[in-house]
């Protein structure tokens, strides 16, 4: 099930998205914008009309922004310039138990390692839903919390967009890890998970078992 209002919004601004995609020459950009629930900043906070102009600054529903400049793409996490009271969550399944999100998803991104400072397990899971929206979760200090897909970093988002029709699973390189950690691993896998990858995770990262084996997990904060 998709969010009807958000789908309608993206249909309404489709030409704006296409213009930015042509400007950046990033063919995966339309998918990234929609799957991360990004919205054009000036459309909401300045003009709010249907003129076809180039929107270089976009923001997500977690209060982060992404700027498509002339030479580089910059993500600003926890962008204090945004008017938070005007940011609305459109995800009907926000704060759903992770084990249930697993069941309504078709692709899983896994980034896992040891935190550089605490040496504790850290992990990010990105679930691409049947509705083509990312839902991401961070494991740190023994707890899960729902986080922005932009934490996966833009280069990873491009790669994941290219490979979203994956069969089975692949291990990704560690050049664009979303979190600072060592002894890190990244995978992209179709769901349900291949038994070989399940065995790797079961052997080396047993804290994931309550999720991967579809047991109930506590709701996120």
104 and 36 in one domain?
A: no
Cβ burial, residue 59 (10 Å; 0-12/13-18/19+) = buried
Q: Which of the listed residues 30, 59, 86 is the one where a domain comes to its end?
A: 86
Q: 27 lies in a domain?
A: yes
Q: How many domains does the chain have?
A: 2
Digit-coded pLDDT (tens) for 85-136: 889 999 999 989 998 999 999 999 999 887 666 667 789 999 999 999 999 9
User: Domain boundary residue among 86, 106, 133?
Assistant: 86
Mean pLDDT of the chain: 86
Q: Which of 86, 118, 135 is the last residue of a domain?
A: 86
Write down the pTM of the prediction.
0.88
**In this structure, is residue 221 part of a structural domain?**
no
Nearest CA-CA partner of 40 in 21, 48, 32? 48
Domain membership of residue 45 as a residue range: 4-86
Residue 75 lies in a domain: yes
Alpha helices in 104-170 (DSSP H): 154-162
**Considering the domain boundaries, does residue 71 fall inside one?**
yes
Residue 110 and residue 208 in one domain: yes
């Amino acid at each position: 099930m998709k969010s009807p209002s958000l789908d309608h919004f993206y249909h309404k601004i489709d030409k704006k998205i296409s213009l930015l995609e042509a400007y950046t020459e990033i063919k995966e950009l339309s998918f990234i914008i929609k799957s991360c629930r990004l919205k054009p900043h000036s459309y909401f906070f300045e003009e709010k009309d249907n003129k076809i102009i180039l929107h270089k600054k976009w923001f997500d529903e977690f209060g982060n922004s992404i700027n498509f400049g002339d030479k580089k793409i910059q993500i600003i996490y926890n962008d204090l310039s945004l008017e938070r009271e005007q940011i609305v969550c459109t995800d009907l399944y926000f704060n759903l138990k992770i084990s249930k999100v697993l069941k309504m998803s078709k692709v899983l991104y896994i980034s896992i390692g040891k935190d550089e400072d605490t040496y504790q397990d850290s992990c990010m899971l990105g679930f691409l839903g049947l509705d083509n929206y990312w839902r991401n979760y961070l494991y740190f200090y023994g707890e899960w919390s729902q986080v922005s897909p932009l934490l996966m970093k833009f280069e990873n988002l491009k790669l994941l967009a290219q490979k979203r029709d994956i069969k089975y699973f692949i291990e990704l390189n560690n050049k664009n890890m979303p979190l600072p950690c060592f002894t890190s691993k990244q995978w992209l896998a179709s769901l349900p998970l291949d038994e070989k990858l399940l065995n790797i995770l079961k052997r080396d990262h047993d804290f994931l078992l309550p999720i991967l084996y579809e047991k109930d997990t506590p709701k996120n904060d």
